[in-house]
Amino acid sequence: MISDWLAYAYPWTKSLHVISMVAWMAGIFYLPRLFVHHTEQSVPGGETDRLFRMMERKLFKLIMNPSLIATWLFGLALVFTPGIVDWGAVWPYAKGIGVLAMTWFHMWCGARLKEFEAEGNSRSGRQYRVMNEVPTVLLVVIVVAVIARPF
């Protein structure tokens, strides 16, 4: 039965969920910083612009996207593991909202990447710096909801 297998695999599933989440967060924190420098240190079509676009594209497609998918898959496996989630508590809903918001931020970064690729960035380095704080706040909400469970 699948629930027996999920219970047996729980320590591995949880480990892989945390590993993939750390990789995802590394990209989520770094990509907006690349956007800051891309905006402030290059001109569209220049050599530095091409270098930044290559770095951003590889980070997004080779690290962030696969780790997002893995985080979601292992997270959903944890959700379906019997006895792990207390659906009567608030914490799983707080975490879920935080993860959905983090996924939105990931997609927002992907949309900004496409703008840079089309040489159509209209945001300032300051705007990217401000947006770079969003995943930090979300990470705090998610981790506190799961570990401390204050609500």
Instruction: Convert 94-107 into a string of H (helix), E (strand) and C (coil).
Output: HHHHHHHHHHHHHH
Count of beta carbons in the 10 Å neighbourhood of residue 34: 20
Positive or negative, the Cα torsion across 83, 88, 92, 93? positive
pLDDT value at residue 3:
80
Residues 2-39: tens digit of each pLDDT: 888 999 999 999 999 999 999 999 999 999 999 999 99
At 77, is the pLDDT very low, low, confident or very high (cuts 50, 70, 90)? very high
- Full-model pTM: 0.93
pLDDT value at residue 18:
97
Identify which of 79, 72, 77 has the alpha carbon closest to the alpha carbon of residue 23: 72
**How many domains are contained in the chain?**
1
Query: Which domain, by its residues, includes 119?
Result: 2-147
Please enumerate in sequence order all residues whose Cβ is within 8 A of that of 74, keeping only pairs 6 or more positions apart, or say none.
13, 14, 16, 17, 20
pLDDT value at residue 4:
87
Place of tokens 């990509």: 31
Q: Is the per-residue pLDDT at 81 higher than 90? A: yes
Alpha carbons 34 and 26: distance in angstroms, whole number: 12
Mean pLDDT of the chain: 96
Q: What does the block give as tokens for 17?
A: 């969920």
Q: What does the block give as tokens for 84?
A: 């792990």
The stretch 73-102 carries a mean pLDDT of 96
At 135, is the pLDDT very low, low, confident or very high (cuts 50, 70, 90)? very high
